[in-house]
Amino acid sequence: MSQLTIKGGRRLEGEAGIQGAKNSVLPILAATLLTAEQVELRGCPRLRDVDASIRILEGLGCTARWEGENTLEVDTRSPGGCAVSEALMREMRSSAIFLGAILARCGQAELSYPGGCELGPRPIDLHLSGLRDLGAEIDDAGGVLHCKASHLRGREIVLGFPSVGATENLMLAACGADGVTTILGAAREPEIADLQNFLNACGARVSGAGTSAVSIEGGRPLHGCTYTIMPDRIAAATYLCAAASAGGDIFLRRAREEHLSTVTAALREAGCTIRSDAAGVSCACRERLKAVRPVRTAPYPGFPTDAQAILMAALLRCRGAAVFEENMFASRYRHVDELVRMGADIRVSGRAAVVSGVERLHGAPVRCTDLRGGAALCVAALAAEGETEISQTAHICRGYEDIARDLRALGADAAWAES
């Protein structure tokens, strides 16, 4: 397996493009099942999770092929099955999003419970209860979901928590339901709006994405389209935090500050200069960072849990102490022990973590514990003295097309090596 080697102590200078959003392309790939035609997805990132989604589509009888570097053509005209293997379901958490699309297309589905990063319990009960509200019959005995939906009917569904996955799953299923479905308490993330825009480009009538009430007019035949995936806001946050950690002046093409304003607000408070326009976002950091006010993760538009570890890594050498409160996942501090190996001073108590800034970090052999924890190790390594060897990088490749390439474009000394 490849490991990532980063030599720290170099200020970042340069620019890089931001890949298509991982958390947007995965539900859109599931949504292609609703079209029964060919779809061309531009700006599609080449990620392990995208590869897993392609294998799910192929297992269902669809075809997908790459055209050029980041254009994926998907043909869903002749699906030949309605089951997803346990091996594919275990590869990523987002595999659950195929349930709503398969039900809408085939009227039945068989899946096991999904896998992904080990961040603590992430039940899909909201997905299942919402699908039952639409008329699906679901038997989840033995860890396998046996689902039937001979006739889905639109209705009002209230989510007790703004779950991104449940919102997306219900949007997909509702496209195949008769009548209008209204999802109240819906997640508001930008990726929800991107899914809405894709569905509408295929002929659906979906409105309200970005608010807590999403409306879907079901029963409309959908067609293929050409669609460009939105830029990845967490990848952009990662590289902004990289510049904050190492110091320097960078520009990120295609990044949209309106999608990550809580992250840029924290970086500005820490002492960075952030500027943005239609072309992208720049970040300049010339002095040691200052501690920021407590960072509390929350559903969008709150501070994203996916950026918690990344910002923490940027603040390891801050003046003062920074407090983090993780409110989304029970096991999202698994990266802390690896950062401590690099000289960080972090104390964890329940949902809270206190980062006391240190003068220096040093390179060390560390391992990725999860996707964003792995990105945090990269951010910390850029500010460390000496060389950091990061292993178990398969986690990173689930969400970053080529993090070493992008860091080199920004002036870092980063390279892949076979371990």
Helix residue spans in 248-370 (DSSP H): 261-270, 308-314, 336-341
Q: Is 117 a catalytic residue?
A: yes
Residue with the two structure tokens 């949504």: 31
Neighbours of 10 (CB within 10 A): 17
361 contacts 322 by C-beta, under 8 angstroms: no
Residues in the chain: 419
Distance CA(132)–CA(129), nearest Å, equals: 5
178 contacts 170 by C-beta, under 8 angstroms: no
SS3 at position 42: strand
Distance CA(91)–CA(81), nearest Å, equals: 20
**SS3 of the chain: helix, strand, coil, percent, to 5:** 35, 30, 35
Question: For the residues of 300-320, what is the DSSP string, one character each?
Answer: TTSB-GGGHHHHHHHTTT-BS
Q: Given 117, 241, 285, 397, which residue is catalytic? A: 117
SS3 at position 146: strand
What type of residue sits at position 52? A
Give residue 412's Cα distance to chain centre: 24
Phi, psi of 194 (to 5 degrees): -65, -40
Question: For the residues of 171-182, what is the DSSP string, one character each?
Answer: HHHHHTSBSEEE
Positions marked active-site: 117
